[in-house]
Amino acid sequence: MTRLDALRRLYPQLDDKVVVTIMGAVSAELQSIGHRPNFFYLQHAMGLASSMGLGIALSRPEHQVVVFDGDGSILMNLGSLTTLARYRPSNLVHVVFDNESLLSVGGFPTATATGSDIAGMAAAAGVPRSCTVRTLDEFDAAFDEAVQAKALTTIVAKVEAVGPSGYVTELAMLENRFEFQRWLRQH
């Protein structure tokens, strides 16, 4: 499974959800499918997308929040799993695209390349639902179940270590910030 195919599969369901991504490859790939005002790309602040998603999920419980994280990013902020588990918002789906690599900075292997299990860590931290998926159908099904379960879920999607040819997009960071804030205020 590639991350781009996984994002394409989910994309039609994202129009009414609050979406927060990490920087780099996943942000560029989601924008290549089509930016929407309810998407925020947390540039540079590596590891903190799940923390930002948690804050939004707690303060706006009427919205379904989706975080698109990376293995390298969540491994830099493992304490976030314990904080997610402590507050366990029912409206947050935490997707970790695990390519076993720091792809956006050259592809150095992460700890998941040598056996570390992020879904296991999420479960041990107390996240009520977690799983690892390896195919598009499994991913799709796990996402639907997470939304329907109304329970905090971490889905680790094992994906190939491939990404876009470049990471710079036409959307300026400040524009994304103001547009996203406005969308949250208006919805």
Ligand X SMILES: Cc1ncc(C[n+]2csc(CCOP(=O)(O)OP(=O)(O)O)c2C)c(N)n1
Q: What residues make contact with ligand X under the rule CB under 6 A?
A: 22-26, 44, 46, 70-73, 99, 101-105, 110
CA 96 to chain centre: 5
Considering the complex, state which of residue 50 and residue 91 has its C-beta at the smaller distance from ligand X: 50
- Both tokens of 21, joined, read 């991504």
H helices present in the chain, as ranges: 3-10, 25-34, 49-59, 71-75, 79-87, 118-125, 136-149, 173-186
What gap in Å lies between CA 41 and CA 50, rounded to an integer?
Answer: 12
What is the chain's length? 187
Give whichever of 110 and 153 is closer to ligand X, judged by the CB atom: 110
Q: How far is the CB of 104 from ligand X (least distance, A)?
A: 3
Closer to ligand X by CB, 50 or 64: give it: 50
Q: Please, what is the minimum distance in Å from the beta carbon of residue 100 to ligand X?
A: 8
Residue nearest ligand X, Cβ-based: 70
**Closest separation in Å from C-beta 150 to ligand X:** 27
Determine the longest span between alpha carbons in the chain, in angstroms.
45
Tokens of 127: 């996240």
| Minimum gap (Å) between residue 90 Cβ and ligand X | 25
Q: Considering the complex, state which of residue 50 and residue 110 has its C-beta at the smaller distance from ligand X.
A: 110
